[in-house]
């Protein structure tokens, strides 16, 4: 059977599974819609958290970035993995004990202020819409290649599927759908990685295959081979980095602390019964995430090596079918500058004739390696599972921010439960439409867009959450001022240096890197904006009244482990 037919079959089966789960687990109350009723087991919640966490950026784009950036791409591995550990150990148990299931809800109650809640809702919407833009682009990329439809049609199909199970099932439907999506995406990521590892090195474990010798009898290590191929084409050695230490540190820190402020991940810890279960599910999620994250560098090395072997200095007319199929999507472009009919893939931009979108590498990897059609189709299903699972979690954050944190908590406190549920579903529908627009008109490749969302979360939420948990005298005035200044600064920097908004439009972006403040890229500037947030919050706090005693007592209480008594002083 053809790749397209296999794709229709596998994607059709997975979509039917997701829709069936949504119908089975549809939400009948606001508690089920927001936190799945609070009765999800730690293992199921760990799988759902892993699927929620491993978005299209992790599945589709991260290995692609590592494939082209080499050592520099490691910032995504370090930042996202470290960030999850930070969230699981530093924040999640305390937020779970506080008992508020959205970040704006926590900030509104902890800082005893409607203004703080409204600012947090605005920040949550900005972060979530930036993040979901990357997911919908991922959906469009997969559909445009494997189902032979244009990106716009692909995004619309994805919107309909997400809308169905997110609006019908809420967090309950999303949770159990994400359990299935984790199984699909991890199987889809690992199967081709194992196949190619055996094919290239004879080792069935991709993580070990990446550092093994090639099985072609040369005795050369795979990474040495890739370094040699890279330097022959004028690129830096694959295992060398070109980013400054400052920028690497800043991006890693922004991704880490941004993770700890992501509202769609934090809410997952409210779907279990007890604080102890939140810790257990965090441990399960970390283990399940590590499977993909430790494999991604190997996938990147396999893909880059095979790509260079396949295209470099080869006749265009002899290119395999996968090359022409990706050309049709516009994500791979060959421009025969010297008209010799050969593909010149080199580092020099003036001479380079091949433009490759980072986002295609994982999806094209099985095709480049000439794997069976069913494996290629499986990867397409995995990419869709990764994008749709995270998109659903983000859409729930958006809908709950509007229905619970704005309508219920501020504008209409007496709204009935049925009315609030309808408001949540209508909000999710509107959010899906906006997300679809961003998917059709994306601001960049998946991981870059997602990295900006992490920067926005770092700049806005992280200081307010950390100070809210660990500094009982933190006032509402300080928290609000910090959030406003932090996210405004990050938005300004992002719009100026990523999109050239204040420098003559997008055409100016290519020349802006030399003007970065402190030599830090927009993806890493969230760490600077976060520090400014902390400074502003603490400075304003010096001149603000202390929080009420009952608030200080709540803050003290959430840091005491459940079942522990007060300390005895001798």
Distance CA 445, CA 499 (A): 13
Alpha helices in 233-372 (DSSP H): 245-259, 263-266, 275-311, 321-329, 361-368
Phi/psi at 206 (5° precision): -55, -40
pLDDT reported for residue 315: 87
The residues spanned by each domain of the chain are 3-36+50-558
Positive or negative, the CA dihedral 126, 127, 130, 135 is negative
The length of the chain is: 570
Ranking 23-32, 102-111, 234-243, 360-369 by mean pLDDT, the lowest is 23-32
pLDDT reported for residue 565: 47
pLDDT above 70: residue 468: yes
Question: Could you count the other beta carbons within 10 Å of the beta carbon of residue 440?
Answer: 18
Mean pLDDT estimate for the chain:
80
pLDDT in tens, 337-375: 888 888 888 877 777 888 887 778 888 888 888 888 888
Pick the CATH number of 3-36+50-558 from 1.20.210.10, 3.40.50.300, 1.20.1730.10, 1.10.510.10: 1.20.1730.10
Most confident of 76-90, 191-205, 299-313, 392-406: 191-205
Distance CA 195, CA 274 (A): 41
Is the whole-model pTM more than 0.85?
Answer: no
Phi/psi at 369 (5° precision): -85, 0
pLDDT reported for residue 416: 81
String of DSSP letters for 39-98: ---HHHHHHHHHHHHS-HIIIIIHHHHHHHHGGGGHHHHHHHHHHHHHIIIIIHHHHHHH
Tell me the Ramachandran region of residue 49: left when phi exceeds 0, alpha when psi lies from -120 to 50, beta otherwise. Answer: alpha
Distance CA 123, CA 501 (A): 21
pLDDT reported for residue 569: 41
Distance CA 281, CA 539 (A): 37
The better pLDDT of the pair 530, 502 is held by 530
**Mean pLDDT throughout 487-493?**
91
Closest CA to 346 of 511, 224, 231: 231
Closest CA to 248 of 531, 526, 521: 521
What are the tokens at 67? Answer: 């494939």
pLDDT reported for residue 537: 95
pLDDT reported for residue 364: 85
Q: pLDDT tier at 530 (50, 70, 90 boundaries)?
A: very high
- Asked if residues 56 and 136 have their Cβ atoms less than 8 Å apart, the reply is no
Q: Percent of the chain at pLDDT above 90?
A: 10
Tally of helices (H runs) and strands (E runs) in the chain: 23, 2
- Asked if residues 378 and 10 have their Cβ atoms less than 8 Å apart, the reply is yes
pLDDT in tens, 224-270: 888 888 888 777 777 776 778 888 889 888 888 887 777 777 777 77
pLDDT reported for residue 510: 44
pLDDT reported for residue 540: 95
pLDDT above 90: residue 194: yes
**Bridge partners for 213 per DSSP:** 221
pLDDT reported for residue 216: 80
End-to-end Cα, the chain, rounded Å: 77
Phi/psi at 203 (5° precision): -100, 125
Instruction: Name the burial class of residue 74, with classes exposed (0-12), middle (13-18) and buried (19+) by CB atoms within 10 angstroms of its CB.
Output: middle
pLDDT reported for residue 570: 40
């Amino acid at each position: 059977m053809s790749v397209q037919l296999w794709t229709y079959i596998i994607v059709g089966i997975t979509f039917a599974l997701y829709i069936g789960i949504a119908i089975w687990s549809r939400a009948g109350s606001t508690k089920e819609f927001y936190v799945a009723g609070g009765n999800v087991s730690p293992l199921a919640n760990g799988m759902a958290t892993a699927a929620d966490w491993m978005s299209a950026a992790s599945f589709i784009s991260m290995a692609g970035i590592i494939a082209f950036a080499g050592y520099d791409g490691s910032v995504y591995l370090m930042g996202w993995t470290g960030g999850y550990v930070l969230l699981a150990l530093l924040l999640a148990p305390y937020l779970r004990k506080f008992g508020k299931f959205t970040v704006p809800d926590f900030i509104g109650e902890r800082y005893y202020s409607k203004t703080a809640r409204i600012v947090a809702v605005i920040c949550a919407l900005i972060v979530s819409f930036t993040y979901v833009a990357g997911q919908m682009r991922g959906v469009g990329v997969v559909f445009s290649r494997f189902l032979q439809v244009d990106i716009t049609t692909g995004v619309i199909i994805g919107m309909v599927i997400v809308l169905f199970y997110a609006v019908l099932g809420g967090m309950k439907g999303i949770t159990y759908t994400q359990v299935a999506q984790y199984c699909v995406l991890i199987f889809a990521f690992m199967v081709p990685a194992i196949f190619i590892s055996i094919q290239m090195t004879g080792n069935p474990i991709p993580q070990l295959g990446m550092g093994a010798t090639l099985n072609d009898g040369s005795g050369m290590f795979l990474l040495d081979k890739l370094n040699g191929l890279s330097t022959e084409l004028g690129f830096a050695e694959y295992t060398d980095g070109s980013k400054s230490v400052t920028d690497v540190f800043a991006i890693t820190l922004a991704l880490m602390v941004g993770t700890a402020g992501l509202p769609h991940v934090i809410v997952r810890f409210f779907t279990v019964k007890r604080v102890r279960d939140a810790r257990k599910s965090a441990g399960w999620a970390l283990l399940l995430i590590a499977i993909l994250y430790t494999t991604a560098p190997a996938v990147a090395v396999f893909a880059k090596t095979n790509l260079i072997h396949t295209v470099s200095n080869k006749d265009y007319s002899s290119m395999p079918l996968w090359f022409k199929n990706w050309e049709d999507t516009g994500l791979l472009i060959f421009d025969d500058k010297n008209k010799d009919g050969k593909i010149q893939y080199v580092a020099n931009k003036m001479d380079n004739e091949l433009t490759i979108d980072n986002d295609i590498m994982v999806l094209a990897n099985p095709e480049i390696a000439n794997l069976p059609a069913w494996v290629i189709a499986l990867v397409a299903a995995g990419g869709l599972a990764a994008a749709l699972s995270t998109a659903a979690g983000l859409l729930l954050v958006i809908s709950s921010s509007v229905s619970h944190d704005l309508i219920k908590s501020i504008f209409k406190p007496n709204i009935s439960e049925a009315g609030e549920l309808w408001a949540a579903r209508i909000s999710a529908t509107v959010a899906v439409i906006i997300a679809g627009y961003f998917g059709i008109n994306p601001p960049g490749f998946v991981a870059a867009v997602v990295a900006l969302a992490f920067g926005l979360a770092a700049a806005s939420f992280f200081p307010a959450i950390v100070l809210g948990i660990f500094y009982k005298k933190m006032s509402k005035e300080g928290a609000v001022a910090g959030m406003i200044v932090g996210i405004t600064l990050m938005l300004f920097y992002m719009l100026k240096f990523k999109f050239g908004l204040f420098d003559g439009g997008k055409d100016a972006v290519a020349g802006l890197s030399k003007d970065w403040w402190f030599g830090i890229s927009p993806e890493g500037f969230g760490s600077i904006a976060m520090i400014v947030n902390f400074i502003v919050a603490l400075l304003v706090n010096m001149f603000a009244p202390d929080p009420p005693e009952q608030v200080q007592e709540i803050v003290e209480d959430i840091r005491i482990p459940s079942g522990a008594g007060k300390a005895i002083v001798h």
